[in-house]
Amino acid sequence: MKKVVIALLILGIIVSTGVVEHFYIEKTFDTLDQKLYEIEDALHRGDDNALPLTQDLTKWWNEKRKCMELFTFSPDIRAFSVALAEQEGSLECGDFKNAMSKCQSLIAMSKNLHQILDFNFEDVI
């Protein structure tokens, strides 16, 4: 009987950790997408606000990345950081066309990362 209780307790911990991870990933990527679309809008308008928005996003992402890397390793997480730094560099140089291109890449990478890190039934099958 003790073994069954211990097994159920371990199962409960595993399931609750998975649920918490799921909601953390959802919230993080919803916020990330929102920030990326704000930058995209600023770039479309030719607004000078794109650089500060990108710098804020870089700072925010570095904090979230550290937390995500605790429960999963993905080279794509680090590649996202590199692409974000490239976008920031393009904005600092005034190359808005390249920054827009990088922004589109970041949006696509965000969707891919979200799918990789989140629980999907396809992963089970």
The CATH number of the structural domain formed by 21-118 is 1.20.120
pTM: 0.83
Any idea where the domains of the chain sit in the sequence? Answer: 21-118
**94 conformational bin, left if phi > 0, alpha if psi -120 to 50, beta if neither:** left
Nearest residue to 29 via CA among 116, 123, 121: 116
Instruction: Examine the pLDDT at 120 and tell me if it is beyond 70.
Output: no
73 band by pLDDT with thresholds 50, 70 and 90: confident
Decide if pLDDT at 67 tops 90: no
More confident residue, 30 or 76: 30
Give per-residue pLDDT as tens, 14-28: 888 878 888 888 999
